[in-house]
Amino acid sequence: MTTFTLEPQDNGRLQSLCGAFDEHLKLIEKEFNLNISRNNFTFTIKSNEENPKSHHEKLIQCAIKLIQDLYMETAPIKGKAKELELQNVHMALQERRMLSQVEPERAKSDVYSSVIKTKRGVIKPRGVNQVQYLHNILTHDISFGIGPAGTGKTFLAVAAAVEALERQEIRRVLLTRPAVEAGEKLGFLPGDLGQKIEPYLRPLYDALFEMLGFERVQKLMERNVIEIAPLAYMRGRTLNDSFIILDESQNTTVEQM
């Protein structure tokens, strides 16, 4: 039997963590085959087996880590605790199953505890590949992300840039992509090159609005703290203390790279 207490104590966050009629805790109980009871912010976890084996202690520690991580996700946004849904718990459990498939040494390392914290909430990578991708971004000067559309490449990169900006580790964020299209034609679109390419930069805008809010993004862009531009306009620039994200980089030329 193991007992632990959640900090900081916030009734709204506790309610969000446990769910209606403790449905979130019941789902965790079922996943780990454990019994979870609580008295306010103090939780007690024990095995359902009469003679628990050594690996049950590892399951208890995994359950504690999961509960603490979910509680962290309920961090208040604009003074109100973030609502956790049953889907969030399902996703967290699925992530744990995926991580259990990797080598134990890697699963225990800090590589798999990468979390992005923004003022709008906590962003966690989903699955082994996203975890490794985010870790590479945070620990290397240059990282490449390859994969089909919709797998979180741009979103996680923007999240890492926003966190670095919030921590004042960088002074500027530059988001760019080449003018050469990925299967689409730009010629028929009205306007100059910047106006032609702007619709294709929407994923970058969407990610920024999600993490910082529309008004803050507009203010930062007015001050050129955040800049979104075609790659053709980046030639010859000096960029110090900057986080640069090149989207659709497979369409760049050798000279541009």
Give pLDDT, residue 51: 60
Per residue in 230-247, pLDDT tens?
A: 787 787 888 889 999 998
37: which 2 tokens?
Answer: 């009871």
Show the tokens assigned to 106. 């890697």
CB atoms within 10 A of CB 206: 13
- pLDDT tens track, the chain, 257 positions: 889 999 989 999 999 999 999 999 999 998 888 899 999 999 999 887 766 666 678 888 888 988 998 998 888 877 788 888 888 888 888 777 766 655 444 444 444 456 777 766 778 787 778 888 888 888 889 999 888 888 888 889 998 998 888 888 999 999 888 865 544 555 555 666 556 667 777 778 888 888 888 888 889 989 989 988 778 778 788 888 999 999 888 888 787 77
What's the Cα-to-Cα distance from 1 to each of 18, 31, 51, 85, 168, rounded to whole Å?
Answer: 20, 17, 12, 28, 43
Cα atoms found within 13 Å of the Cα of residue 57, Cβ hemisphere only: 2
Q: What is the pLDDT of residue 61?
A: 87
Length in residues, the chain: 257
- Predicted pLDDT at 6: 92
- The whole-number pLDDT of residue 44 equals 92
pLDDT of residue 223: 92
* Assigned architecture for domain 114-257: 3-Layer(aba) Sandwich (3.40)
CATH entry 3.30.1370.10 includes domain 1-101: yes
Whether pTM exceeds 0.85: no
Which of these, 152, 85, 161, lies nearest to 116 by C-alpha position?
161
For 4-10, the CB contacts below 8 A with 24+ separation are 4/42, 4/43, 4/45, 4/64, 4/68, 5/41, 5/42, 5/43, 6/41, 6/43, 6/67, 6/68, 6/71, 7/41, 9/40, 9/41, 10/74, 10/76, 10/81
| 230 beta partners | 177
**Domain boundaries of the chain, sorted by first residue:** 1-101, 114-257
Backbone conformation region of residue 226, classed left if phi is above 0, alpha if psi is from -120 to 50, else beta: beta
